[in-house]
Amino acid sequence: MPESGNRRIMAFDFGTRRIGVASGQELLGTGRPLAMLPARDGVPDWDQIGSLLEEWKPDRVLVGLPLNMDDTENDMCARARKFGKRLHGRFHVEVEMVDERLTSFEARGDVMAAGGSRDFGRDGIDDRAAVLILETWFHQQGPRSA
């Protein structure tokens, strides 16, 4: 694994209908959207995820954890954790859960500000939320060396 600061990171915004995916490099501290994968009751096409992991070869995978505002967990937290465990089990990648409170709300605001429609399913909310999860994690890691 590359030294800290130069790792490739992939983030997933888990949802029951769509899963947003983003990628970034720790050195830059920014992410970019990669995909919005369809899911059926939270179950993705694992072959699509495998293809993304093979193409991008992340050193670490992040999964958003949708905690309640009072820090308690809800049913979606359990489902997101299960998704993270399956990622680890199927693909043997290092998975870390990241607090994603308000990322979908912020992503929706970003899309609307850029002139997107209210039909959020087609305007990149989920992959933008994955970018925000990734950038939140980068920010939590502290300052990067230039």
Q: What is the pLDDT along the chain (146 residues), one digit of tens a residue?
A: 566 668 999 999 999 999 999 999 988 888 999 999 999 999 999 999 999 999 999 999 999 999 988 989 999 999 999 999 999 999 999 999 999 876 555 545 554 455 554 444 444 678 888 999 999 899 888 765 54
Length of the chain measured in residues: 146
Rounded to whole angstroms, the Cα distance separating 10 from 88 reads 13
pTM value is 0.82
Coil, strand or helix at 72: coil
Give residue 106's pLDDT. 52
Give residue 142's pLDDT. 72
Coil, strand or helix at 67: coil
C-alpha closest to that of 52 among 123, 137, 141, 130: 130
Give residue 120's pLDDT. 43
Give me the architecture of the 8-39+48-140 domain, per CATH: 2-Layer Sandwich (3.30)
Which residue stretches of the chain are H helix? 46-56, 75-91, 103-113, 125-140
C-alpha closest to that of 106 among 126, 122, 121: 126
Query: Do 137 and 31 contact (CB within 8 A), yes or no?
Result: no
